[in-house]
Each structure stands twice: as C-alpha cells, then as structure tokens.
Amino acid sequence: MTASFFILAFICLAAAVMVVVSRKLIHSALYLIVTLLAVAGIFIMLGAEFLAAVQVLVYAGSIVVLFVFVVMTVGFGRASELERTPAWWALGASLALIISGQLCLALYSMKGAAVDAPAAGGAGRLTVEMGRLIFTDWLLPLEVLSLLMLAVMVGIAALRREGRRKK
Amino acid sequence: MISPQLVVLFTAALFTVGLVGLLMRRNSLVMLMCVVIMVNAANLNLVAFSSSLRLVTGWALVIFIIGVEAAELAVALAVITAYQRLKGSVEMDSARRLRD
C-alpha cells in the first residue's frame, strides 16, 4: 500500500516538474494529464473513489482538453528571454528549497490517524453521505456555484462578442 | 496504511512545484497549469484529512473546489485568447498594462 503510494507520488511529482520545465506548451499540457491522473490514483488509495472519478472526468477529461485546444489555437509564440538564463533557474531552485523547507518545518510535528482505504469499508456509504451533505446542508453553496457557472458562460460570450466588435 | 503526515509532506512538495512554476515561468498558459497543480495539492490535503477523520465534509468541499476551478479556468482561457488576439503573444512580459 505504502509502496504504491510512493510510486504514484513520484510519478505525480516528476510530471509536475516536467510541466514547469518543458519547453513546448503541448508537452506541458500532456504532462499535466499525467499529474492529474496520478492524483486521481492517490484519491482512490485514500478511499475516495467518487472523487477520483470526478477528477478524471472533469480535470483530465475536460479541463486539459480546453488547455490543449487553446494551446493549439494561440499557444505558438516566441519564448521569453528571461527563461533562458541559468541564473533565473538557480533562483527558482533556491526559492523551491526555501518554500518546501518552511512547509516541511511547519508540518513536521503534525499528528493524525493513518488512512487505510480497504479497512475504511463502506466507501460507498461515505459517498452516499457526501451526496446527502451536499444536497441538504450545503444546498445554498451549490446554488451559488450553479449561478457562478451561468455567470461564467454569459461572461465568456460577452468577451468574445466584444472582441469581434472591436475588430 | 498511509499516514496523513506522508500525504501532507507530498502535497507540500507538489504545491511548491506549482508555486515555483507560477513564479518562474512567464508563459500565461503554463502559469495556469501551475495553478491547477496547486489546487490539486490542496484538494489532496482535504481528502487525506477527511479520510483520516472519517468525515465527508472535506470530500464535499473538494467537489465545490473542482467546480469553481473549472469556472475560473474557462474565464482565464477566454481572457488569454482575447489577449493573444490583441498582442499576438501569450507571454506575460508584454502584459504590463491591461488597458489597450
């Protein structure tokens, strides 16, 4: 169990690093799929099968498709001069060391019960419980979220229309 | 058995990768991808603690976060497309001002 977690975590981290350092945009988008699928695998190991399915459907299925679509239509520009210098990446590496050191220092003393997905049993029961929670206690946030989606749709349509008129 | 401590350390590393990528890269599309990575690290944290405490509140929260993230990305990609049409590039070096 722990071994497969380490494997998934390694794949996820390596793909995330490749997203950052890839020269070509389309490679970044494809490595992003690997990262998101590895996160879905870790969701399953933590006993959240439903969330893993949602992750694959929404992130790997639609968000990355959106990314690839935009990369294919607008993504071919010249690369920034700043990103070519080694000093810039040395700065990035030291920044990463400082931030992760701080986080590890803060999290080192944390305590918590271990997660054992198969022994948790009834992951299906927990999913049912989650659905009930969303549609009873959190009904108002859910409606606000659907209003947000509507606003986003109208906003994007307005944005496209504006651009066309200016042209 | 996965201890939440392990998951939290891993998500800290994942979050750091996303944050550094956001700060270092100047391409707006890669910056957006780094935001996605950071949000995923936060989601993973919520799920780990939720499973550890046998509560489903964190799971429900993750569903909402995924929804808001999808909406945010749709708007951001539309803005990037409009910006590219205006300037002919998606690099953020030239985006000193949003007007014109």
ipTM of the complex: 0.91
H or E element in which residue B43 lies = helix B28-53
- Of the candidates A82, A71, A70, the one whose C-alpha atom is nearest the C-alpha of residue A24 is A71
At B28-86, the pLDDT tens digits run 899 999 999 999 999 999 998 888 888 889 999 999 999 999 999 999 999 888 888 88
At A7-46, the pLDDT tens digits run 999 999 999 999 998 888 889 999 999 999 999 999 999 8
> Could you tell me the two tokens for A103?
């986080």
The residue with tokens 């989606």 is: A149
> Could you tell me the two tokens for B55?
């509560």
Q: Is residue B99 very low, low, confident or very high in pLDDT (cuts 50, 70, 90)?
A: low
> Which residue of B lies nearest to A50 if distances are taken between CA atoms?
B59
- Of the candidates B60, B41, B59, B42, the one whose C-alpha atom is nearest the C-alpha of residue B50 is B59
Considering only residues 52 to 91 of chain A, which have any Cβ-Cβ distance to chain B shorter than 8 Å? 54-55, 58-59, 62-63, 66-67, 70-71, 73-75, 77-83, 88-89, 91
- Residue at A147: amino acid letter: L
Residue B27: predicted pLDDT = 87
> Could you tell me the two tokens for A35?
């990262």
A13, B27: Cβ pair inside 8 Å?
A: no
Q: Is A138 on the interface with B (CB under 8 A)?
A: yes
The set of residues, in sequence order, having a beta carbon less than 8 Å from that of A61 and lying 6+ positions away, is none
Are A20 and B21 spatial neighbours (Cβ–Cβ below 8 Å)? yes
Are A5 and A42 spatial neighbours (Cβ–Cβ below 8 Å)? yes
At A108-161, the pLDDT tens digits run 777 666 666 554 555 678 888 888 999 999 999 999 999 999 999 999 999 888
> Could you tell me the two tokens for A23?
């020269």
- Residue at A62: amino acid letter: S
Q: Is A157 on the interface with B (CB under 8 A)?
A: no
B36, A66: Cβ pair inside 8 Å?
A: no
Min Cα–Cα distance to chain A from B97, Å: 18
- Of the candidates A67, A32, A104, A92, the one whose C-alpha atom is nearest the C-alpha of residue B19 is A92
Q: Report the alpha-carbon distance of residue A159 to residue B83 in Å, rounded.
A: 11
Q: What is the pTM of this model?
A: 0.89
